[in-house]
A and B are shown apart, each in its own frame.
Chain A
């Protein structure tokens, strides 16, 4: 069964700093997603990565995918308080649309 692991699970950052969240997965998959979740809310789609070497950027967030290493990263540049949330990566299992999620990374950006 496909396993997805994120690290770190908790991240406390200062505003203006950079950091990276890592997402490792155990078997081959052709799609990887990053989602944001605010407390008590649903999942907001951030990025869909479809191929090896894919890189996508939106504002202060940039996601990349290395399918050979089975690794995706979510890089945060010059963090601001509004980025405080829990971030999940998810991988499609067996091309069937079933998403396997990581444990989530709870990000707290402090002034």
Chain B
């Protein structure tokens, strides 16, 4: 049973560019959440998707947007990258209403 997968593993971008990160949830899960983890800090909730709609959102600017596809996979898009966007981006999947969340391996984004 494949767990949560994310791609790419690492990414280097320049300030002002745009980036797309991808996540495939664990088999049978229908909800995907995205978190940003800056170095030395705890993960911060970005948003959550269920049935292809954004269900909850954290305190992140509109530069951060997402999408969920009919197969439950999800993308995180970040526009106009800033140096401060450098972080580990984690995707977590769950079944709506179930308490277990499973985290993927993460995408390390470096903005130069």
Contacts and interface: CB of A to CB of B under 8 A. Distances in A.
Nearest to B100: A48
Q: Which size bracket describes the interface of B in this complex? A: 20 to 34
Interface string A18-49: 00000000000001010100001111010010
B25 interface: no
Interface in B74-91: 90
Which one of B45, B56, B92 has the highest number of Cβ atoms from chain A below 10 Å of its Cβ?
B45
Given A31-B99, A42-B103, A101 B42 contact: yes
B31 interface: yes
Contacts of B48: 96-98
Interface residues of A, number: 24
Contacts of A33: 101
Given A31-B99, A103-B41, A96 B105 contact: no
